[in-house]
Amino acid sequence: MASTSTAPVLRNFIAGEWREPVSRQHLDNRNPADASQLVGRFPASGPEDADLAIAAAQEAYSTWRLTPAPRRAEILFRAGQILIQRKDAFAADMTREMGKVLLEARGDVQEAIDMLFFMAGEGRRLYGQTTPSELPNKMCMTTRVPLGVAALITPWNFPMAIPSWKSAPALLCGNTVVLKAAEDAPLSAVHWVEALTEAGLPAGVINLVLGRGEECGAPLVRDPRTRIVSFTGSTAVGREVGVEAARQFKHCNLEMGGKNAIIVLDDADLEMALDGCLWGAFGTTGQRCTATSRIIVQTGLYKKFIAAFVERVKTLRLGNGLHAHTQVGPLVNEEALQKVTGYVEIGRQEGARLECGGERAIVDDLRHGYFFNPTVFSDVSPTMRIAREEIFGPVVSVIPCSGLEDAIEIANAVEYGLSSALYTANVNAAFRALRDLDTGIVYVNAPTIGAEVHLPFGGTRNTGNGHRESGLATLDVYSEWKTLYVDYSGHLQRAQIDTGE
């Protein structure tokens, strides 16, 4: 990584070397809390850079796939130890480039550490099966095998955690990687690759290209040499990725949008529900695929909940995420700011009641960044656009419901199905919700956000394509099963053929 007197100039990482892009062009990486601050400059990579990275990964695959899985795992473990040592520095850089508060940035790095350690543990547990044969003197077994080059396309909102979700299992299974990180958080991706390389990953096993998605991400998806594609981002782009991957019969994992709901029943612990809704809606400034975008409240508690919730929302402190007192950071860029502003206007036009927020925050130092006041709409109908479409910002819609069945029907009446939650003291209601909420993740008495790395993460319907990140389930994305037979009978045996004996 080269640097200038003003800001670091990042490079791509290809075949074990930090390289300038073929175009020699760079893009600015600016601090969303103060857009006048240049965090760094990163490559404007194009198809030529993608081609070089794929070629390097393909060449390295022939030897990496033969490296024993426990040895691959040891490298992942060492990378986790490196991240522990540099956690605070990497977190601070993350906050500067994409805005989330420092406490959350540390959590992002910690999730990468957890994923590395979890997958390192699986290096001695890439288990297959042995099973009796229907024929005598015959052995039957299965084993996982890698596929080749994995193209990993990751977003800016979890710029180290999500690359770890994809890279760690891909590498553990014996694949090589080309990572295309989001243009709003390139520095965190550089730190991720630095840690893996320093831990001993051989040249070409992981490669990094930085730039815009259509210029260097799309070529990774289209290239026939990539045999796995894993994408986290919008549903619209994910659909295109899925179509292209299907055309070439690639393994494909898609993690896309969300419109997550918390249900609060009359018997809920109000204080606990308020805490959960506040964190779920405004953590990471609402810029999470798991963010709580809808709060569905039973009518007996509805007015009391809104009054208490709005009072708390108004006390949230906006500011630079590096400052200890900050609770809500900026939106990531001007485009995100305009999108959120547009949806607030849609909510007004639809007749929802604006309880607080609803405008850009421009007081004092906030005027230099992309800050938006935390916003609450009440009296929202489930058919309104603000209750159905992903906003990806600090805007939450509060919707009344008559009871549990009504709430579940409202929660399920969107195209997405990532995460949902229920606050209640009724164990029967809790188990009905666990059964009937049509989302990949369901919480009881906790908000919609958060994941533990040893469990599957993903959603239903337009949130994904059925695969999962994290946990053991993700290994099915990055490997395929090979069935092995050894016949030691010494003569021809024909399965399923009745010999009459």
Q: Catalytic residue positions? A: 255, 289
Give the span between the Cα atoms of 323 and 325, in whole angstroms: 6
Nearest to residue 299, comparing CAs of 410, 162, 217?
410
CA 67, distance to chain mean position in Å, is: 28
Alpha carbon distance, N-terminus to C-terminus of the chain = 72
One-letter amino acid for residue 428 of the chain: N
Nearest to residue 50, comparing CAs of 201, 220, 164?
220
CA 298, distance to chain mean position in Å, is: 31
Give the span between the Cα atoms of 16 and 24, in whole angstroms: 19
Nearest to residue 464, comparing CAs of 180, 184, 257?
257
Q: What is the DSSP string of 270-337?
A: HHHHHHHHHHHHHGGGG-STT-EEEEEEEHHHHHHHHHHHHHHHTTPPB--TTSTT-SB---SSHHHH
3-state secondary structure at position 59: helix
Nearest to residue 264, comparing CAs of 384, 401, 386?
401
DSSP 8-state class, residue 496: T
Give the span between the Cα atoms of 203 and 217, in whole angstroms: 21
Length of the chain as a residue count:
501
Q: Which residues pair with 210 in a beta bridge?
A: 181
Sign of CA dihedral 317, 113, 54, 173: negative
Q: CB 61: neighbour CB atoms within 10 A?
A: 23
Residues 6+ apart with CB under 8 A from 472: 122, 454, 456
B/e letters for 180-194, b = 16+ CB within 10 Å, e = fewer, are: bbbbbbbbbbbbbbb
Give the span between the Cα atoms of 64 and 194, in whole angstroms: 18
Q: CB 456: neighbour CB atoms within 10 A?
A: 15
Q: Which residues pair with 422 in a beta bridge?
A: 263, 444
Residues 6+ apart with CB under 8 A from 24: none
